[in-house]
Amino acid sequence: MRVQHRHIIYIQGYDPRGLAQYYRMFRTELRKFGRLYQLSATMGRPQTGSDGEIASWTIETKADDWQTRTSYDFLRFEDFIQRDLASPIWRTVLQAVWIYWRLVFAGTIARFGRANWRFATFITYPHFLLLLEASGAAALAFVFGKGLDALGIPSLLSIAAAVAVFVALLGTVLKYTENQTYLLYVLCDTIWTWEFSHRARPDWDQRIDRFAQYLVKVARESDADEIVIVGHSSGSFLGTEMLARALQLDPALGRHGPRIVLLTIGGNFPIVGFHAVSQPFRDHLRMLATEPSIDWIDCQSRKDVMNFYPFDPIKGHDIDVGEARRNPKIVSVRFRDIIKPEHYNLFRWKFFRVHFQFVMANERPDAYDFFMIVCGPIPLSARVAVPDAALAVAIGDPAAREWAWKRIETAKAGAADANDLGDMEPSARRSG
């Protein structure tokens, strides 16, 4: 089956940039996608509902032998995120440090380390940097206080002045180096995930419930061939929550309309699922692991320190569903295969840039291509089941495309065993 109409529901992660910057990035990357595959891709202006929570646009993509229309929904959380980032620096620092040490003493950081040492290092990095900056500010404040003592200033006044200098210096350094360090952003992210895991953010839960209701409505009314729910970064567990809650509203969600596929990319499920209080979230993972009417694809990359690789979202949370398991299918993505070598070497150590490559255009044709997933004619489950055929449709000659379509039409996507994740790397190296 060739997809003529696809509906994408994109859930952003903890990213304060919001609709305007995401839309500009998407438009720029869509142009690169069109040039790479020598096809026509045009998009409309975003339209936002009266509540401002969902923005939508359409994409028309045409090649020599196929044409696909995409309805694209962008689910928004930036108002919450920007409010978090506007919190006073002192409050963010104290709250994040308190949460981090609770994670340490609860053994959660150690569990992160066992699951993926790169992510454990990433989440520890801002606290290490904060300690260095605080030490430098404290040293300067100490010298300042000693200078006041030498001038004969009373001890209480000199101590108070030194404390004020310490606070002012540290606050100034944190504020004016944020664009280089992202320290306050990562600390806010840590606070948010802790609060979300402990159900201390009812505003987020209420919006996710509304998005779940929206998904049920779309599934009932859409004429799309498939609905793909895309969750990038923290959007991975937000998308999982939304889909699970939609299934609770309508258990037949994936049976009476378009095929529904959950695509999680660059995911970090353990930052919610490893908390002892997160049993409802783990129950939702269990539900999706066995739901036959839903396909779930989870894409991971070794190079991305902000996702967990290799990690099975089901077994990694000690969830055992036995033979009933059918989700997720785990796919390993190699960014080296989709980016030109000269560009890859420029940004390979820019962790946020690497993390966003999941949702940016390829520079080299590959079976993993976010914009082919969004705009292309191949159903996502089939694309993952026969990646070599999917690539042949994009770049092959007429004979190769004819062979590829025959393979795709007979392909059946099966659930991946997470034990095979390492074995998937060679095929990923060849075809993404």
Longest CA pairwise span in the chain (Å)? 91
What's the average model confidence in pLDDT over 355-363?
94
Instruction: Say what the pLDDT of residue 153 is.
Output: 86
* CA angle in degrees (0–180, nearest 5) for 325-330-333: 175
Which CA distances in Å does 295 have to 36, 264, 292, 379, 384?
Answer: 29, 11, 8, 11, 11
The answer to whether residue 424 scores a pLDDT higher than 60 is: no
Q: Model pTM greater than 0.95?
A: no
In which residue are the tokens 């101590």 written? 159
pLDDT at 207: 97
Q: How confident is the model at residue 154 (pLDDT cuts 50, 70, 90)?
A: confident
Beta carbons of 268 and 231 less than 8 angstroms apart: no
Residue length of the chain: 432
Among 81, 375, 345, 132, residue whose Cα is nearest residue 235: 81
Of residues 339, 289, 305, the one with CA closest to residue 36: 339
Res 236: pLDDT: 96
Q: Is the pLDDT of residue 196 over 90?
A: yes
Q: What does pLDDT average to over the chain?
A: 91
Please compute, for residue 215, the number of CA atoms within 13 A of its CA located in the half-sphere on the CB side.
Answer: 37
Average confidence (pLDDT) over 406-428: 51
pLDDT at 428: 30
Closest CA relative to residue 122, chosen from 308, 352, 306: 306
Task: Taking residues 370-395, report their average pLDDT.
Answer: 94
Note the pLDDT of residue 138. 93
CA distance 153 to 149: 5
- The Cα–Cα gap between 294 and 333 comes to 22
Q: Residue 44 burial (CB < 10 Å; 0-12/13-18/19+)? A: exposed
Dump pLDDT digits (tens) for 284-301: 999 999 999 999 999 999
- 205-206-211 Cα angle (round to 5): 95
